[in-house]
Copies of this chain bind each other. A is one copy, B any other.
Amino acid sequence: MKIAVDAMGGDYAPEAIVEGSVLAAREFKIPIILTGISHRVYQELEKYEDWKHLGIEVEHADEVVEMHDSPSKVIRSKKKSSIKIGVDLVKKGEASAFVSAGNTGAVLAYSTIILRPLKGVDRPAIAVQLPTAKGTSILLDAGANVDCKTNQLFQFGIMGHAYAKYILGNDNPGVGLLSIGEEDGKGNETTKEAFKLLKKSHINFIGNIEGKEVYRGNADVIVCDGFTGNVALKISESLAEMIGGSLKNLFKTGMTTKLSYMLLKPHLAELKKKVDYSEKGGAPLLGINGVCIIAHGSSSPKAIKNAVYQAHLFVDKRINEHICEDIENNLDGKGSLWQHIKEIVAGPEDYPKDPETSEETSDPSKN
């Protein structure tokens, strides 16, 4: 199993990316293909005496996608970028997974276009691990799909469930739908319909959860559209930043507070680490034919090492097979997703009866 890594993507590329890849190859014995401007990548690799013995290869890319490039422009004009080359390696089967800390929109666009969504999945979603009072929850979609249909929210539930079960090892993860009230009928038009679908699925759907429940950790998986998910994550970062800043100012106010800061310092560092979700290494793009891990733009070497390990886990645990099975189970098994969709669209009374099982549909006047 080789993992392709975008050497040129991220705020500290290529230094931090190459270092992180070296660390991963060394520690986990995972062979890595670095994609990027080859002379730059080799220049970085030469910093590590043992790199040639770690199973690291370099695949040349002519171009670099900048963080601010628009994905649609990238697809039209940058056809030999390190991102495109990396995704192509997965498509050709030369790599089992791709890791990038680069332009998320471009990674998403290429993965969707080249690898294609899994059968039964409309579009891939970005799933992030959130630190909670009880441990870790998964939130998806974190921003891949700004306008979501009911069906997509349902698919996010199935995919998040597979992530929690097969990657995090939670046997029976509780899946909640992010909404504005806990009661069944609360939500916007899309969540109200998605609620009905999720309730009929075979996964452990625990109903609506409010924003105030998120960090309490009562839902192992939190389903939402990508607009809400992105706002929820970014506003969390923003609040944590403000509280951190206020604490910092507080510690500076006088001798007693300075003293207490000295006493607390090691504990605070630990707390910060716990709350910082970039420590997790990366967010998988769930629902594509292949494994693709999106690392934080400001990834440190350690974050890249963790992202490579996570990519390895996703391949090893065959997450996509499980997602396909679960979607399939809800299509034709007891859950019969499409049946439910038809019922919801038509309403239970208007729903036409099956002619093979119902006598009422045969019209006697025609005899």
Contact = CB atoms under 8 A, between A and B. Distances in A.
A179 B257 CA distance: 38
Interface string A176-211: 001110000001110100000000000000000011
Contact of A260 (B213, B240, B259): B259
Contacts of A210: 234
* Protomer copies: 2
A146 interface: yes
A230 B246 contact: no
A257 B264 contact: yes
Contacts of A256: 263-264
Given A243-B275, A260-B260, A188 B147 contact: yes
Contacts of A274: 246
SS class of chain A's interface: helix, strand, loop or mixed?
helix
Contact of A235 (B212, B246, B268): B212
A132 interface: yes
Given A247-B271, A257-B264, A275-B243, A213 B231 contact: no
Contacts of A147: 188-189
Nearest to A191: B227
Contacts of A253: 267
Contacts of A231: 178, 180, 211, 224, 228, 231-232
A333 interface: no
A271 B246 contact: yes
Interface string A254-278: 0011011101100110010011000
A93 interface: no
A274 B243 CA distance: 10
Given A188-B146, A228-B227, A264-B250, A216 B241 contact: yes
Contacts of A236: 211, 235-236, 239
A260 B260 CA distance: 4
Report which residue of A188, A242, A253 has the largest number of chain B beta carbons within 10 angstroms of its beta carbon: A242
Contact of A263 (B143, B179, B257, B271): B257
B235 A215 contact: yes
A133 interface: yes
A214 interface: yes
Contacts of A243: 240, 243, 271, 275
A257 B263 CA distance: 6
A238 interface: yes
Nearest to A134: B242
A68 to B, nearest CB: 8
A290 interface: no
B240 A239 contact: yes
Nearest to A217: B242
A180 B268 CA distance: 30
A237 interface: yes
A269 to B, nearest CB: 11
A215 B189 contact: no
7 contacts: A191-B227, A211-B233, A231-B231, A232-B235, A235-B235, A239-B239, A250-B264
Interface of A: 132-133, 143, 146-147, 178-180, 187-189, 191, 210-216, 224, 226-228, 230-243, 245-247, 250, 253, 256-257, 259-261, 263-264, 267-268, 271, 274-275
Given A146-B188, A211-B233, 7 more contacts: A180-B226, A191-B227, A211-B230, A211-B235, A214-B238, A228-B228, A236-B239
